[in-house]
């Protein structure tokens, strides 16, 4: 099998709401760097972000 490249999938960098740098993957607006930084240095901010993640998932499912 050869991996197919879907032409209609466009990966555009999305600006992170926290550090404003473009990231191909963000979770509720935060890039992977910020998620890691929050986990290491900003536990309170991480808790708030996790609550947003939970709310986003619950919002999508129903």
What whole-number distance in Å separates Cα of residue 54 and Cα of residue 50? 6
CB of 51 vs Zn ion, minimal distance in Å: 18
Give me the phi and psi of 29, to 5 degrees please.
90, -15
Q: Alpha-carbon distance 36 to 3, whole Å? A: 30
Under rule CB under 5 A, residue 35 binds Zn ion:
no
CB of 23 to Zn ion, least distance (A): 6
**31 sits near Zn ion (criterion: CB under 5 A):** yes
Residue 19 binds Zn ion (CB under 5 A): yes
Please give the residue ranges that form the binding site for Zn ion (CB under 5 A): 16, 18-19, 31, 34
């Amino acid at each position: 099998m050869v991996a197919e490249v879907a032409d209609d999938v466009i990966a555009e960098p999305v600006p992170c709401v926290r550090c404003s740098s473009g990231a191909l993957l963000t979770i509720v607006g935060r890039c992977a760097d910020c998620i890691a930084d929050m986990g290491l240095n900003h536990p309170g901010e991480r808790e708030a972000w996790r609550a947003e993640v939970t709310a986003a998932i619950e919002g999508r499912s129903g």
